[in-house]
Amino acid sequence: MENRSSSLHFITIEGYVEVSKYGHLYFVIMFAAYLLTLCSNTLIISLIWTHPNLHEPMYVFIAALSVNSIVYASAIYPKLMIDFVSEKQVVSLPVCLFQWFTYYTLGACEFMLLTAMAYDRYVSICKPLQYPTIMTKTRVCVLLALAWLLPFSQNTVALCLNVKKKLCRFLFKGVICNSSVYRLYCTGSTTLTTYGMFVFTNVVILPVLFILYTYSRIFFLARRSKDMRRKAMETCLPHLLVLINLTVFIFYDALLVRIQTESSKTVRFVVTLQVIMYHPLLNPVIYGLKMKGINRHIQKLLCPCVKPK
Give the CATH number, domain containing residue 139.
1.20.1070.10
| Own/partner pairs, 85-91, CB within 8 angstroms, 24+ separation | 85/23, 85/24, 85/27, 88/12, 89/12, 89/13, 89/14, 89/16, 89/19, 90/5, 90/10, 90/11, 90/12, 90/13, 91/10, 91/11, 91/13, 91/172, 91/177
Report how many domains make up the chain.
Answer: 1
Mean pLDDT for the chain? 82
Report pLDDT for 5.
42
Whether 111 is in a domain gets the answer yes
Report pLDDT for 4.
44
Report pLDDT for 238.
77
**How far apart, in whole angstroms, are the C-alpha atoms of residue 254 and residue 170?**
21
Lowest average pLDDT, out of 145-149, 151-155, 173-177, 211-215, goes to: 173-177
Which one, of 180, 184, 179, lies nearest residue 167 by Cα? 184
Report pLDDT for 265.
75
Report pLDDT for 151.
92
∠ CA(16), CA(193), CA(107), 5° rounding?
55
Kindly tell me if the per-residue pLDDT of 1 is higher than 70: no
Report pLDDT for 191.
81
Whether 295 is in a domain gets the answer yes
Predicted TM-score (pTM) of this structure: 0.86
pLDDT in tens, 20-75: 888 899 899 999 999 999 998 999 999 899 988 888 898 899 999 999 999 999 99
Whether 231 is in a domain gets the answer yes
Residue 171: which domain range?
Answer: 2-302
Kindly tell me if the per-residue pLDDT of 6 is higher than 60: no
Report pLDDT for 284.
80
Whether 142 is in a domain gets the answer yes
Q: Residue 64: count other Cβ atoms within 10 Å of its Cβ.
A: 23
pLDDT in tens, 125-138: 888 889 899 999 99
Q: What is the DSSP string of 101-120?
A: HHHHHHHHHHHHHHHHHHHH
Kindly tell me if the per-residue pLDDT of 144 is higher than 90: yes
Whether 307 is in a domain gets the answer no
Whether 63 is in a domain gets the answer yes
**How far apart, in whole angstroms, are the C-alpha atoms of residue 266 and residue 261?**
12
pLDDT in tens, 186-245: 877 788 888 888 888 888 889 989 988 988 888 887 777 777 777 777 777 777 777 887
**How far apart, in whole angstroms, are the C-alpha atoms of residue 220 and residue 228?**
10
Whether 308 is in a domain gets the answer no
pLDDT in tens, 251-270: 776 666 665 555 677 777 87
